[in-house]
Amino acid sequence: MGQASKVARLSWLSAYGFLLPALLLLLVFTVFPLILGSVLSLFQYNVVSPPQFVGLNNFKEIMTDPVAHIAFRNSLVYLLVVPVLQLFSILLALVVNQETKGMHFFRMLFYVPVITSIIVVALAWKWLLAEQGLFNGILMSLHWIHEPIHWLTDPSIALYSVMLVTFWKGLGYYMVIYLAGLQVIDPQYEEAAKLDGANWLHVFRHITLPLLKPSIAFCTLISCIAAVKVFAEIYVMTEGGGHFCRPRPWFITCTICS
Amino acid sequence: MVYYMYDLFMNQLKLGYAAALGLLLAVAIGLLSYVNYRFFREGGFESYT
Check whether A28 has a pLDDT greater than 90: yes
Query: Is the torsion defined by CA of A118, A121, A122, A123 positive or negative?
Result: positive
The residue-averaged pLDDT of A105-129 equals 89
3-state secondary structure of A237: helix
The separation between CA A157 and the C-alpha centre of its own chain, rounded to angstroms, equals 19
Helices (H), ranges, A97-133? 103-115, 118-128
- Residues of A within 8 A of B14 (CB-CB) are 44, 46
Would an 8 Å CB–CB cutoff place B36 in contact with chain A? yes
Residues contacting residue A68 through CB under 8 Å, at least 6 positions apart? A62, B4, B21
- How many other C-beta atoms lie within 10 A of the C-beta of residue A134? 11
- Residues of B within 8 A of A68 (CB-CB) are 4, 21
pLDDT tens figures, A66-115: 888 888 888 888 888 889 999 999 999 999 888 888 888 888 888 899 99
Enclosing H/E stretch for A191: helix A187-195
Average pLDDT, chain A: 84
Whether residue B29 and residue A38 make contact (CB cut-off 8 A), yes or no, is no
CA distances from A50 to A43, A57, B19 (A): 10, 17, 16
The ranges of chain B with pLDDT < 50 are: 47-49
pLDDT at position A29, please? 92
The separation between CA B5 and the C-alpha centre of its own chain, rounded to angstroms, equals 13
Check whether A23 has a pLDDT greater than 90: yes
3-state secondary structure of A53: strand
Would an 8 Å CB–CB cutoff place B34 in contact with chain A? no
Check whether A20 has a pLDDT greater than 90: yes
The residue-averaged pLDDT of A9-26 equals 91
Whether residue A48 and residue B13 make contact (CB cut-off 8 A), yes or no, is yes
Enclosing H/E stretch for A52: strand A52-53
Check whether A245 has a pLDDT greater than 70: no
Min CA distance, B17 vs chain A (Å)? 5
Min CA distance, A48 vs chain B (Å)? 9
Q: How far apart are CA A132 and CA A136, in angstroms?
A: 6
Check whether A56 has a pLDDT greater than 80: yes
Percent of chain B with pLDDT over 70: 80
Check whether A25 has a pLDDT greater than 90: yes
Q: How far apart are CA A97 and CA A107, in angstroms?
A: 9
- Residues of B within 8 A of A213 (CB-CB) are 45, 48-49
Q: How far apart are CA A102 and CA A109, in angstroms?
A: 11
Q: How far apart are CA A238 and CA A153, in angstroms?
A: 7
Contact A52, A45 (CB under 8 A): yes
Whether residue A229 and residue B14 make contact (CB cut-off 8 A), yes or no, is no
pLDDT tens figures, A166-218: 999 999 999 999 999 888 888 888 888 888 888 888 888 888 888 888 888 88
Contact B4, A68 (CB under 8 A): yes
pLDDT at position B48, please? 46
Whether residue A44 and residue B16 make contact (CB cut-off 8 A), yes or no, is yes
Q: How far apart are CA A110 and CA B4, in angstroms?
A: 32
Whether residue A46 and residue B14 make contact (CB cut-off 8 A), yes or no, is yes
Higher pLDDT, A240 or A35: A35
Min CA distance, B27 vs chain A (Å)? 10
Whether residue B45 and residue A47 make contact (CB cut-off 8 A), yes or no, is no
pLDDT at position B44, please? 56
Check whether A21 has a pLDDT greater than 90: yes
